Amino acid sequence: MMAKLVQINIARMKAPIDSPLLADFASQLDVVNAQAEGSAGFIWRLKDDTGNATTISATSPFGPEMLVNLSIWDNPDSLKAFVYRNQNHGAALKNRAQWFESMNIPHFAMWWLEDNEIPTLIDAKRRLQFLADNGDTPYAFTFKKSFSPQDSISEQVNTHLLLSLADEALIHSQRISEWCGHGPILEEDLALGNVALDYLGQARLLFGEVARREGKSRDEDDLAYFRNENEFLNSSLVELPNSSEFGDRDYAMTIAKLFLHSSYMLLKWRALQQSSDRSLSAIASKSLKECTYHFDHAQQWLLRFGDGTDESHSRIQGAINYLLPYTNEWFHDFPIDVAAFEKGIAPLPSSLQLAWRTKISQVIEEADLKLPEPVKFLSRGKKGYHSESLSLLLAEMQSLARQHPGANW
Amino acid sequence: MNTSSLAQARLIVSNVPDPEIPAVTLADLGILRSVEEIDGQIVVTLTPTYSGCPATEAIKQDVHTQLAANHITNARVQITLSPAWTTDWITPEGKKKLLAYGIAPPNCSANGQALQFSAPSRGITCPQCESQSTERLSQFGSTPCKALYRCKACKEPFDYFKPY
C-alpha cells in the first residue's frame, strides 16, 4: 500500500463566511479548490455537499469560527508545489491577514496516514495540539522538518501500545467497580472489587510508564482524568455497560465480559512476557498472575450459569452472543500492531485468535452453552472511535478531578 | 556513612511491619529486595505484591517514617517490578507468623499447580483447629492477596494467603 500524507490547515475567520469582509475570499474558493483537485499528487479533501468545507465548520471540533481544510496528498512535495506555486492559492496566501485572525498556535500540520481510513477532524485537532506541545515530530510535522512514513509509526509504537493497554485496564476497572456495594452476594461484591483493583493497579503501572516516556509534565492522573473519549485507546468491549434487557446491572453480562476478556488477556500477557520492551515485560509477568485468578473466577460463574437454571442459561448465552462481535477488534492487526510485532514488542493480535477461541470454546461447551459463529463486525475502540457508553463512563470517572484539579485525599 | 549505620538501616527496614498484616514484617513477606548505600544515601528497594495493592504506598511511607525515627533522613525508596514478587518469597518464619495470626499461608509453590485453574481446597489447614477439612468461600477476600475459607470442623471462617 502506498503511503499517503494528510494535511490540516485551519484559519480563524474575522467574520462569517457569507459576510462582506470575506466575500472576496469566498468567491475564490471554487477556483482554488478545483485547481487543488487537479494538482499532481492530490488524493482527497474533506468537503460538504456544496463542494466546499465551509459548512463543515459549524459542527467541527475546532468551533464554528474556524475554517478547516483537511486533505490527502501523495507526499509533502506535491502539497508544497500546490501551496506555494499555484498562482491563485499563492495570491490568497498573501491576503490572508484581510480575512483571518493571526493565531499564536499552529494552524498547519501534516502526518502520514497509518491505514486507509478517512482522517477525521478530531484526529487533526489532536495532532495540531501535539505539534504545539512538541514541535515537529512524526506524529505531526510541518514543511520545516519532514518525516518518512516509517518514522511515523516506529516513534509512537511503544507509548501507543502501553497507553492502549493502560486504557484497557482502566476502563475495564471502572466498569467492574460499578458493582461495588451492588454485588449479588457479599462474596461477589468483594471479588469484583478485588478484580477491579487489580486492573486499576495495572493501569497505574502502565500510565506511569507512559508518563515517564513522554517526558512531558503529564502524570498518571492527567492521563486518566484529563483526556477526552476520542483519546482513549481501549477496545470497545470493555466500555460496554453492565446492563442488559434485564436491568441496569446484569451479572451475566459482567461475567461474560470478564470471561471473554480475561481469557484473552491471559494469552496476551503470557506473550508480552517475552516483549523486547523490558518494562512492559515486567508488568506482563505481574498482570498474568492476577489475570489467572480473574479467568478462574469468571470461568466458574460461567459454568454455574450455563449449567444452572433456564433463566441463568439464557441470560449468559444472550450476553455471550451480544459481546462476541466486539472481540474481533482484539485480533485485528492494525498498522500499529504490525509495527509493534516487527519491533518484538508485542505478539501479532491475529496470532492469538485461534488459541483464544479454543480456550473459550472448551469452557463454553462444558457449560452447555454455544459459541456463536464469527461475524465480520469490527469495532474500533483501539483507534479512538468509541460508543456513547464511554462518554458517560468518563463523565462520571473524571468529573471530580476536573472540577477540583489537583485535589488531594 | 559507615557500615554499622547501613546495617542499622537494614535492620530497621527489615522490621517494618506490613500495614495490612502487622504480624509480619517486610522481610518476612519477601517484598524487601535490598537496602544499599549509594553515594551516601540509603536506597531501599521493594517489590510490590499485587499491582493494585493500596498497601504499597503505605509501606513506602512507613519505611521513611521508621528510618527518620532513627535519624536516617537521607533515604530513598524505589520500587522494582522485575522479577515479579511471588508468595514463594515469604520466609518460613513469615509463614509461621501468618499461621499464628490466623491466616493460612500458601500451601504450595506459586510456580506450578497453584496457577492451574480451579485448584480445589485440598490440604489447606485451618489456622484455628488444624483440621484439613476446609472449604473455599471465595477466591477473593479482604485484601488482594487473600482468599476466604471456612473450616468444616470448627466452623470458623479464615483467610488464606493465596499462591501468587
DSSP A343-405: TTSS--GGGGHHHHHHHHHHHHHHTT--PPPP------GGGT---HHHHHHHHHHHHHHHHST
User: Once rounded to an integer, what is the mean pLDDT over residues A180-201?
Assistant: 95
How many angstroms separate the CA atoms of A7 and A26, rounded? 21
On chain B, the residues whose CB falls within 8 A of the CB of A187 are 137-138, 140, 148
pLDDT in tens, A339-368: 899 889 999 999 999 999 999 999 999 999
Given B52, B82, B84, which is nearest A289 (Cβ)?
A: B84
Nearest CA in chain A to B87: A289
Q: Please indicate whether, in this complex, the C-beta atoms of B82 and A287 are within 8 angstroms of each other.
A: no
What is the phi/psi pair of residue A40, to 5°?
-65, 130
Nearest CA in chain A to B162: A293
Q: Is the pLDDT score of A378 beyond 80?
A: yes
Note the pLDDT of residue A154. 64
Q: Please indicate whether, in this complex, the C-beta atoms of B140 and A297 are within 8 angstroms of each other.
A: yes
Q: What is the mean pLDDT of each run of 10 residues along chain B (164 residues)?
A: 81 95 95 93 93 89 95 92 92 95 88 49 83 90 90 95 90
Burial of A206 (0-12, 13-18, 19+ CB in 10 A): buried
How many angstroms separate the CA atoms of B60 and A6, rounded? 48
Closest CA to A348 of A358, A334, A328: A334
Provide the 10 A C-beta neighbour count for residue B113.
Answer: 10
Q: How far is CA A158 from the centre of its chain?
A: 15
pLDDT in tens, A232-267: 999 999 999 999 999 899 999 999 999 999 999 999
Nearest CA in chain A to B83: A282
Note the pLDDT of residue B2. 63
* Element (DSSP H or E) covering residue B159: strand B157-161
Note the pLDDT of residue B122. 62
C-alpha cell read off for A246: 434485564
Cβ(A109)–Cβ(A131) below 8 Å: yes
Kindly compute the dihedral angle of the four CA atoms of residues A163, A164, A169, A171, in this order, to the nearest 10 degrees: 100
- Taking every pair of C-alpha atoms in chain B, what is the biggest distance, in angstroms? 57
pLDDT in tens, A290-320: 999 999 999 999 999 999 999 999 999 999 9
Q: Please indicate whether, in this complex, the C-beta atoms of B52 and A202 are within 8 angstroms of each other.
A: yes
Note the pLDDT of residue B97. 96
How many angstroms separate the CA atoms of A379 and A388, rounded? 13
Query: pTM of the entire structure?
Result: 0.79
Q: Which residue has the higher pLDDT, A50 or B104?
A: B104
Q: Please indicate whether, in this complex, the C-beta atoms of A282 and B84 are within 8 angstroms of each other.
A: yes
The CA-based angle A68-A92-A108, given to 5 degrees, is 40
Most A-contacting residue of B135, B137, B140 (CB-CB within 10 A), to test interface: B140
Note the pLDDT of residue A120. 87
**Sorting pLDDT into bands at 50, 70 and 90, what band is A107?**
very high
How many angstroms separate the CA atoms of A136 and A133, rounded? 9
* B119: closest CA of chain A, how far (Å): 9
How many angstroms separate the CA atoms of B35 and A386, rounded? 47
Closest CA to A72 of A48, A45, A52: A45
